[in-house]
Amino acid sequence: MTSAKISVGEKDYELPLVVGSENEVGIDMTKFRAQSGVISLDPGFGSTGSCQSAITFINGEEGVLRYRGYPIEDIAENASFAEVSYMLIYGNLPNKTQLEEFSSKLTQHSLIHEDMKKFYEGFPASAHPMAVLSSMVGSLATYYPEKDEDGFDLNIIRLLAKAKTIAAFAYKRSIGQPFIYPQNNLSYCGNFLNMMFAVPSEPYTVDPVLEAALNKLLILHADHEQNCSTSTVRLVGSSHANMFASMAAGICALWGPLHGGANQKVIEQLKYIQRSGEDLQKFVDRAKDKNDDFRLMGFGHRVYKNFDPRARILKKSCDQVLSKLGVDDPLLDIAKKLEEVALNDEYFVSRRLYPNVDFYSGIIYRAMGIPTNMFTVMFALGRLPGWIAHWYEMRQDTSTRIGRPRQIYTGPAARDFVPVAKRG
């Protein structure tokens, strides 16, 4: 099978097929409009590929997720977030020297310019940290060039290293506490926890349980091929906008409650269910009712029509982390019962709606002491290396064209302008 045939009216068109390394098949539509004058139309892009990529593979029917060929289950258990970031961006797991150099650079570049601290004074304390994160990441473009003489590598380091500082400073600003600076003797995750929870008046020791949990959470969120925010980063980057601007756009796309913002909504929904004291079936029934805009947040996925492997790992981690921390969170019990009720309901079963990455992640963030409005920021910190990897892959491919979809116009036909004095 090397080509596809499309008939438009009386004319047939033969189009080449593209077959990927995991035998996925795509019809190359590049020349179709020029040949036929006809476009494909696919709102939401459910059947449309935007690119070829060597970074992440998902088999939604079988619940498979691999970063550069490594199964998510293996790397979540055995790798560090720095290793996974390097591997996603540069293609392979780093050797010892490469990892040491990469980690050292991430440490060296963790500070933000002192003048950037003043930006926080302009935000109200109540500002949503995703608004702060996108603004501050975009503002990095006011301090650093579009690229250095050696290309994008230094900006990749700056972005990865400074994002966690920007995020922690946003939290400190929101609670009126002084900023805690990054410490060079701490890991990426340890540094973030220290910047979030240390206070000048007393020493803070990074809990290895929290550090390990954060490491796993960030790895599980690190990439997910052409999701809404990654596609946004690619589209913005295809105009050759700089890396900081492209990432700020990705952060904004992730913020939506249908995407990364779902992890905050899940916890808010579980708290609402808990307060109501109502039977869980009532909420499952509401989620099925087309006249009710209530949906089970953290459930369903465009690609996974089987368990999201990340949700499976996170569900297990919830039990492990909460018991190690001695935390008993009633919301976890509600989440597990809700999952059980939904997965035994024909509506969810027939639509193959399973818990996704956002369903359990918030339970662990809560146990770590991270406030609910910071949950999507945590998702963004994890997803940053994935966004960078896709942006970098696209910019390295000189054949990449600016993203510019077509449309089918449904508005009025040509008509004459009528001066306002003559309009009815």
- What positions carry a catalytic annotation? 301, 358
Site string for ligand SDX, 38-77 (x = CB under 6 A): ------x---------------------------------
Choice between 33 and 302, CB closer to ligand SDX: 302
In this structure, what are the phi and psi dihedrals at residue 158, rounded to the nearest 5 degrees? -55, -45
Residue 259 near ligand SDX by CB under 6 A: yes
Of residues 237, 298, 309, 385, which one binds ligand SDX by CB under 6 A? 298
Amino acid at 74: D
Q: Least distance to ligand SDX from the beta carbon of 44, Å? A: 6
Q: Least distance to ligand SDX from the beta carbon of 359, Å? A: 7
Of residues 300, 362, 382, 385, which one binds ligand SDX by CB under 6 A? 300
Q: Which two tokens stand for residue 421?
A: 């004095």
Q: How far apart are CA 29 and CA 40, in angstroms?
A: 8
Only one residue has tokens 């007393």, namely 202
Choice between 172 and 301, CB closer to ligand SDX: 301
Q: Give the binding-site size for ligand SDX (rule: CB under 6 A).
A: 22
In this structure, what are the phi and psi dihedrals at residue 340, rounded to the nearest 5 degrees? -65, -45
Of residues 105, 113, 271, 295, which one binds ligand SDX by CB under 6 A? 295
Q: Least distance to ligand SDX from the beta carbon of 267, Å? A: 12
Helices (H), 5-127: 32-36, 72-78, 81-90, 96-108, 117-120
Where does residue 277 fall: left (phi above 0), alpha (psi -120 to 50 degrees), or beta otherwise? Answer: left
Of residues 66, 172, 173, 301, which one binds ligand SDX by CB under 6 A? 301
Choice between 165 and 227, CB closer to ligand SDX: 227
Q: How far apart are CA 157 and CA 96, in angstroms?
A: 18
C-alpha dihedral over 304, 310, 311, 315, to 10 degrees? Answer: 160
Residue 173 near ligand SDX by CB under 6 A: no
Q: Least distance to ligand SDX from the beta carbon of 328, Å? A: 25
Residue 315 near ligand SDX by CB under 6 A: no
In degrees, rounded to 5, the angle at the alpha carbon of residue 383 between the alpha carbons of residues 378 and 388 is: 140
Of residues 55, 358, 387, 394, which one binds ligand SDX by CB under 6 A? 358
Q: What is the DSSP secondary-structure string of 296-308?
A: -TTB--SS-SS--
Give the largest CA-CA distance in the chain: 79
User: How many CB atoms are located within 10 Å of the residue 128 CB?
Assistant: 19
Of residues 314, 357, 368, 374, which one binds ligand SDX by CB under 6 A? 357
C-alpha dihedral over 151, 164, 130, 272, to 10 degrees? Answer: 140
Choice between 141 and 262, CB closer to ligand SDX: 262
Residue 312 near ligand SDX by CB under 6 A: no
Where does residue 117 fall: left (phi above 0), alpha (psi -120 to 50 degrees), or beta otherwise? Answer: alpha
Q: How far apart are CA 36 and CA 26, in angstroms?
A: 19
Binding positions for ligand SDX, 225-244, rule CB under 6 A: 227
Q: Least distance to ligand SDX from the beta carbon of 174, Å? A: 24
Binding positions for ligand SDX, 105-144, rule CB under 6 A: none
In the chain the first and final C-alpha atoms are separated, in Å, by 61
Choice between 59 and 139, CB closer to ligand SDX: 59
Residue 246 near ligand SDX by CB under 6 A: no
Cβ-closest position to ligand SDX: 300
Q: Which two tokens stand for residue 328?
A: 């008993």
Choice between 117 and 302, CB closer to ligand SDX: 302
For the chain, counts of helices (H) and of strands (E): 18, 6
Of residues 19, 199, 258, 349, which one binds ligand SDX by CB under 6 A? 258
Strand runs labelled E in 286-399: none
What letter would DSSP give residue 140? Answer: G
Residue 211 near ligand SDX by CB under 6 A: no
Q: How far apart are CA 166 and CA 193, in angstroms?
A: 13
Site string for ligand SDX, 271-290 (x = CB under 6 A): ----------------x---
Choice between 287 and 378, CB closer to ligand SDX: 287
Q: Can you give the binding site for ligand SDX, defined by CB under 6 A?
A: 44, 224, 227, 258-260, 262, 287, 295-303, 351, 353, 356-358
